[in-house]
A and B are shown apart, each in its own frame.
Chain A
Amino acid sequence: MRRIRAAAAGAVTVSLLAAVSACGGGSASGGGSGDSPKKLTYWASNQGPSVEADKKILSAEIAKFEKETGIDVELEVVPWSDLLNRILAATTSGQGPDVLNIGNTWSASLQATGALLPWDDANFEKIGGRDRFVESAIASAGAEGKDPAAVPLYSMAYTLYWNKKMFADAGITKPPATWDEMAEIGKKISGDGKWALGAEGSNLSENIHHVFTFGQQHGTNFFTPDGKPDFTSDAAVDAVKSYVDLMAEHKIIAPGNAEYAQNQSLQDFAKNKTAMVMWQNAQTAFASHGMKDDDWGVAPIPVRSGDPGSGTGVNSMVAGINMAVFKNTDNLDGSLKFVKFMTSDAEQKALNTAYGSIPPVKAAQEDRAFDSPALRIVRDTLANSAAPLPQVPAESQFETAVGTAVKELFAEAAAGKPVSKDLVREKLAKAQQQMPQG
Chain B
Amino acid sequence: MPSAPRSPMAAPRSFVWSRRVFLTLLTVFVAVPVYVMLSSSLKPLQDVSGEFRWLPGDLTLSPYVDIWSTVPLGRYFVNSLIVAGAATVCSVVIAVFAAYAVSRYEFRGKRVFTVTVLSTQMFPGILFLLPLFLLYVNIGNATGVALFGSRGGLILTYLTFSLPFSIWMLIGYFASVPRELDEAALVDGCGPLGALLRVVVPAAVPGIVAVTVYAFMTAWSEVLFASVMTNDTTRTLAVGLQAYSTQNEVYWNQIMAASLVVSVPVVAGFLLLQRYLVAGLTAGAVK
Known: A25-B82, A88-B130. A80 touches B152 (CB 8 A): no
Chain A residue at minimal CB-CB distance from B224? A85
Within 8 Å of chain B (Cβ to Cβ): is A380?
no
Within 8 Å of chain B (Cβ to Cβ): is A400?
no
B146 contacts which chain A residues (CB < 8 A)? 24, 26, 28, 30
User: Is the Cβ of A264 less than 8 Å from the Cβ of B193?
Assistant: no
A3-11, A112-120, A236-244, A416-424 - the one binding chain B = A3-11
User: Is the Cβ of B249 less than 8 Å from the Cβ of A28?
Assistant: no
User: Is the Cβ of B248 less than 8 Å from the Cβ of A284?
Assistant: yes
A12-20, A172-180, A247-255, A365-373 - the one binding chain B = A12-20
Known: A4-B193, A5-B191. A270 touches B149 (CB 8 A): no
Chain A residue at minimal CB-CB distance from B139? A20
Determine how close the nearest CB of chain B comes to the CB of A6; give it in whole angstroms: 10
A288 contacts which chain B residues (CB < 8 A)? 45, 249
Known: A93-B137, A285-B248. A271 touches B46 (CB 8 A): yes
In Å, the complex CA distance between A78 and B79 comes to 17
In Å, the complex CA distance between A51 and B70 comes to 7
Within 8 Å of chain B (Cβ to Cβ): is A311?
no
B247 contacts which chain A residues (CB < 8 A)? 46-47, 80
Among B155, B189, B230, B250, point to the contact of A1 (Cβ < 8 A): B189
Main DSSP-derived SS at the B contact region = helix
For chain B, give the interface size range.
35 or more
Q: Taking each of B45, B69, B244, B247, which has the highest tally of chain A beta carbons within 10 Å of its own beta carbon?
A: B247
Among B50, B145, B234, B243, point to the contact of A21 (Cβ < 8 A): B145
User: Is the Cβ of A12 less than 8 Å from the Cβ of B97?
Assistant: yes
User: Is the Cβ of B242 less than 8 Å from the Cβ of A81?
Assistant: yes
Within 8 Å of chain B (Cβ to Cβ): is A86?
yes
Within 8 Å of chain A (Cβ to Cβ): is B201?
no
Where the two chains meet, the residues of A that have a C-beta atom closer than 8 Å to any C-beta of B are 1-2, 4-5, 7-8, 11-12, 15-16, 18-30, 33, 46-53, 76-82, 85-86, 88-89, 92-95, 262-264, 266-267, 270-271, 281-282, 284-285, 288-290
Within 8 Å of chain A (Cβ to Cβ): is B90?
yes
A1 contacts which chain B residues (CB < 8 A)? 189-191, 194
User: Is the Cβ of A81 less than 8 Å from the Cβ of B90?
Assistant: no
8 A-B Cβ contacts within 8 A? A7-B193, A18-B90, A19-B156, A20-B152, A21-B152, A23-B155, A79-B242, A262-B250
What 6 A-B pairs have minimum CB-CB distances, sorted nearest first? A24-B152, A28-B146, A26-B234, A26-B150, A26-B151, A1-B191
Q: Per-position contact with A for B23-40: 1 when CB-CB < 8 Å, else 0?
A: 000000000000000000
Q: Per-position contact with A for B173-207: 1 when CB-CB < 8 Å, else 0?
A: 00000000000000001110110000000000000
Within 8 Å of chain A (Cβ to Cβ): is B94?
yes
Chain B residue at minimal CB-CB distance from A281? B248
Known: A52-B71, A89-B133, A271-B46. A80 touches B246 (CB 8 A): yes
Chain A residue at minimal CB-CB distance from B226? A82
Determine how close the nearest CB of chain A comes to the CB of B92; give it in whole angstroms: 10
Chain B residue at minimal CB-CB distance from A29? B231
User: Is the Cβ of B231 less than 8 Å from the Cβ of A289?
Assistant: no
A16 contacts which chain B residues (CB < 8 A)? 94
Within 8 Å of chain A (Cβ to Cβ): is B239?
yes
Known: A27-B234, A284-B248. A15 touches B94 (CB 8 A): yes
Chain A residue at minimal CB-CB distance from B90? A19
B245 contacts which chain A residues (CB < 8 A)? 81, 262
